[in-house]
């Protein structure tokens, strides 16, 4: 399990810098390859699709991710479908990626492993 998962989010200030390419590449090494960096409307985001046997399992995972998001005050986009959940992390207030997003991606993997 990634060391990142042992961390908690820091308060992300609106003037915090977004991660640069090198910082992203370095943090990606601490995450499973399933996580991809995507860019939407100029905003870099961290995204992974999780697969499940049915909708009930997908929904239970969705709610479990929602719990950690609430506990950290840092929230993903969650697309819940039959057998799949797409989880996307980015820091809204800085319109990009912050270390918090990588921490929460690692925490998301931990939740998946516990399902
Ligand atoms: C007021 C509230 O704490 C802030 O808007 C938080 C809520 N959750 C958040 N989640 C994410 N991913 N980015 C944010 O900038 C963010 N801001």
- The reported pLDDT for the residue numbered 12 is 82
75 in contact with ligand 1, CB cutoff 6 A: yes
Residue 12 belongs to some domain of the structure: no
Query: With a 6 A CB cut-off, is 98 part of the ligand 1 pocket?
Result: no
Asked if 45 contacts 39 with a C-beta cutoff of 8 angstroms, the reply is: yes
Is the pTM higher than 0.90? The answer reads: yes
Nearest-angstrom CA–CA distance, 75 and 42:
19
pLDDT in tens, 42-90: 999 999 999 999 999 999 999 999 999 999 999 999 999 999 999 999 9
Structural domain contains residue 97? yes
Residue keyed to tokens 């996580």:
35
Average pLDDT value for the chain:
96
Pocket test for ligand 1, best of 40, 75, 87 (most atoms within 8 A of CB): 75
Q: How many domains does the chain have?
A: 1
Task: Let me know if residue 10 belongs to a domain.
Answer: no
pLDDT at 66: 98
Structural domain containing residue 39: 18-114
* Residue 11 pLDDT > 90: no
95 C-beta closer than 6 A to ligand 1: no
Which CATH number goes with the domain that contains 63?
A: 3.30.1360.20
Is there a domain that residue 13 lies in? no
Q: CA-CA distance, 72 to 87, in Å (whole number)?
A: 16
Position 8 in a domain? no
């Amino acid at each position: 399990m990634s060391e990142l998962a042992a961390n908690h989010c820091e308060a992300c200030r609106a003037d915090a810098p977004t991660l640069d390419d090198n910082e992203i590449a370095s943090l990606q090494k601490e995450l499973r390859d399933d996580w991809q960096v995507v860019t939407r409307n100029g905003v870099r985001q961290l995204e992974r699709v999780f697969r499940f046997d049915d909708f009930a399992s997908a929904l239970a995972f969705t709610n479990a991710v929602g719990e950690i998001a609430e506990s950290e005050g840092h929230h993903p986009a969650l697309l819940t479908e039959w057998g799949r959940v797409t989880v996307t992390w980015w820091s809204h207030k800085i319109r990009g990626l912050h270390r918090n997003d990588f921490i929460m991606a690692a925490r998301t993997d931990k939740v998946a492993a516990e399902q």
